[in-house]
Amino acid sequence: MQAAIDRLQQELNALELDASFLLKPHDVFYLAGYASVCSGVLMSAKEEPVFCTLWLDAPEAREQCSLERVGTYVFPEQSLLGRMIKMLKKQGGPEPKRIGIEKDFMVARQYELLVSEFPQAELVHITPVIDKLRAIKTPQELEHIKAAAALADQAMEAALAAVAPGVSELEVAAEAEYVMRKAGSLRTAFSTFVASGERTLLAHPIASPKIMQPGEAVVIDLGAVVAGYSSDLCRTTFVGDPTPEQCDRLRLVFQAQEEAAGAMRPGALSKDVYEAARRVFATKGLERLLPSDMGYGVGLRQSEFHPVIEKGSSTELAENMVVALMQTTAYDRAIGGLRVEDTFWVSAQGAVRLTKHRQNLY
């Protein structure tokens, strides 16, 4: 974790920040190797980073947190950010002129508190900087993601085996999640998606009480978590036998994923990876049905915001990024939103599939 702190401190110094308040759990975990429910990291140009947490969680924090300094606060008499502000002021010196915050996560009352305590300071959005640092995985991070991918493979087998007429989407999700937990997943990487029939057209179809009917397509999207790191895996199956049109479409989606993965290597641009998939859909005149984004980074989240594989993006891929392809598909009301998604590692030689699950259907 020290390497991550050093890299971030360099970036924050380049932005001429006097201090930064990190509250987003994934960013806190990235820097401290631990994140309790109510915790944050204070970074300043003067002193070593401080991990701050609720006083009741302090004993575990001191055991598991990689940062040497641990501060606490008592709720409701104190707030997390309020305590961190007092810690910064205790360091002494002039009032900070530039303060780093995660504007995509901080709530309005926290923002207002900072403005009231430091009325002359400029609040600088630092999430993009952290996202780029998190995108390049260390060997240890890669091992955790590979392990999470293996658990997702097991869970997918259980989920597919549970699909049958009269079974609810929730039951399928339960089978998958039980297998993941039993095998060692800390939690699900996200709320397990199980979508049947028309629900396959939803962008985020969290499993519902809907009962699966004969002839329906079923999309299952799941992920496991090992040591804080996630995986992402999606498959499409059917309640009964699929139609020839459904099989052809699913094979087309798989082919698009294969072409996109083939274009994914260090130095490749996001837009070129997207275009490789789009060309496959274009052979059937379906490119108009493909959304502008089709892949996201994978790490402490199953869907991170650097890199994003999207239309027109000049984001350059780098060695040891991890990307999920394809999180979206050609959504067609006549057939459904049939999807195939896997987690890939961008190695020096090109994309390596980390989720190994194979489905004979395509």
Name every residue whose Cβ is closer than 8 Å to that of residue 358 and which is 6 or more positions away in sequence: none
Is residue 25's pLDDT more than 70? yes
Confidence of residue 1 (pLDDT cuts 50, 70, 90): low
In angstroms, rounded to a whole number, what is the distance separating the alpha carbons of residues 251 and 359?
11
* Strand order, beta sheet including 293-297: 304-310, 293-297, 322-325, 342-347, 350-353
Name every residue whose Cβ is closer than 8 Å to that of residue 22 and which is 6 or more positions away in sequence: 28, 31, 40, 41, 42, 43, 102, 130
In angstroms, rounded to a whole number, what is the distance separating the alpha carbons of residues 2 and 357?
35
Q: Enter the tokens of residue 256.
A: 């698009």
pLDDT (average), residues 110-118: 97
For tokens 């004979």, the residue is: 360
**H helices, E strands: number in the chain:** 10, 16
List pLDDT tens digits, range 123-176.
Answer: 999 999 999 999 999 999 999 999 999 999 999 999 999 999 999 999 999 999
List pLDDT tens digits, range 183-226.
Answer: 999 999 999 999 999 999 999 999 999 999 999 999 999 999 99
Report the percentage of the chain scoring pLDDT > 70: 99
Is residue 24's pLDDT more than 80? yes
In angstroms, rounded to a whole number, what is the distance separating the alpha carbons of residues 204 and 191?
9
DSSP single-letter state for residue 316: B
Query: Is 246 or 362 the better-scoring residue by pLDDT?
Result: 246
In angstroms, rounded to a whole number, what is the distance separating the alpha carbons of residues 31 and 285?
46
Q: Are 100 and 35 in contact (CB under 8 A)?
A: no
Is residue 352's pLDDT more than 70? yes
Catalogue all structural domains in the chain, each as residue range(s) with its CATH number.
Answer: 2-134 (3.40.350.10), 136-353 (3.90.230.10)
List pLDDT tens digits, range 75-113.
Answer: 999 999 999 999 999 998 889 999 999 999 999 999 999
How much is the pTM? 0.95
Confidence of residue 50 (pLDDT cuts 50, 70, 90): very high
pLDDT (average), residues 9-35: 95
In angstroms, rounded to a whole number, what is the distance separating the alpha carbons of residues 53 and 36?
7
What is residue 136's predicted lDDT score, i.e. its pLDDT? 97
Confidence of residue 362 (pLDDT cuts 50, 70, 90): low
Strand-pair category, 50-54 with 69-73: parallel
List pLDDT tens digits, range 36-48.
Answer: 999 999 999 889 9
